[in-house]
Amino acid sequence: MIFKERFANKVMVVTGAAQGIGAGVASRGAAEGARVLLVDRADFVTEVEEGIIAAGGKAASVQCDLETYEGAAEAMAAAIAAFGRIDILVNNVGGAIRMRPYAAFEPPQIDAEIRRSLMPTLYCCHAALPAMLEQGAGTIVNVSSNATRGIRRAPYAAAKGGINGLTQALAMEYAEAGIRVVATAPGGTNAPPRRVARNPQGDDVQEQAWMAEAIAQVTSSTFMKRYGTLEEQIAPILFLASDEASYITGSVLPVAGGDIG
């Protein structure tokens, strides 16, 4: 469903916009009137941008690595350069790289999960706040996960727990400055095959078995006993980003078929 003009006059920055949930948020946000800055380190983010423009929407894109502060600063500067302001920031970059029992994680693998699923959101919030403070308004939607209560990905769970803490702390700190900070906590989501894999090295047979255990746990923890669809994740992110959610801040909304994460 499209709510035409819901984001008219809004500038929306979406991170991790080349595929999956981020591409969907960017495309539907643009269809609903937002001017969208798509951020990703994958070069095919331009294909999503071109699709939006071909459909009559307004978009620009920038390629940068949000695991660095410089990348986050570059992304926000690109939004200002293209559209002059930042009304909405959707921090979508993240995702478990490996599924293992915690004792089987190697120390550098623990660091990599935190860098992937916590640091881009920490950095992007910090880099976007000056523009929002100057405007006296802004909305940040962070994408967390129900994995905060799940097996085989404890470092990712810790990163997403960090996202939840950041969401609440920033919401409290900046509410009086006109800035809302909210999050969704998606559950398992069906999507087309990823063009950029979470783990570029691929999963060995043991890791595939551990992933199957995590998938079984995620599915059984939902009341609905199924994965969600991309649309079922995109819709609540855009609701929270919209002015319809104007009295909601500091909340982490579980979007996981009844699993509260």
Given the complex with ligand NAD, which of 33 and 150 has the nearer CB atom?
A: 150
Which residue lies nearest ligand NAD, judged by its C-beta? 20
Q: What is the DSSP letter of 226?
A: S
Q: How far is the CB of 152 from ligand NAD (least distance, A)?
A: 13
Between the two ends of the chain, the Cα-to-Cα distance in Å is 27
Total residues found in the chain within this entry:
261
Is 174 in the active site?
no
Minimum CB separation of residue 59 from ligand NAD in Å reads 15
Residue of 102, 123, 156, 227 marked catalytic? 156
**Residue 158: DSSP 8-state:** H
Between 136 and 193, name the residue whose CB sits nearer to ligand NAD. 193
CB nearer ligand NAD, residue 16 or residue 162: 16
Q: Are 66 and 39 in contact (CB under 8 A)?
A: yes
- Minimum Å gap between C-beta 17 and ligand NAD is 7
**Whole-number minimum distance, CB 29 to ligand NAD, in Å?**
15
Three-class SS of residue 151?
A: coil
Contact residues: ligand NAD, CB under 6 A: 16, 18-22, 40-42, 65-67, 92-95, 116-117, 120, 143, 145, 186, 188-189, 191, 194, 196, 198
Measured from the CB atom, the residue of 18 and 34 that comes closer to ligand NAD is: 18
Q: How far is the CB of 16 from ligand NAD (least distance, A)?
A: 3
Nearer to ligand NAD, 67 or 133 (CB): 67
Q: Which of 97, 16, 25 is nearest to 61 (CA)?
A: 16
Residues involved in catalysis? 156
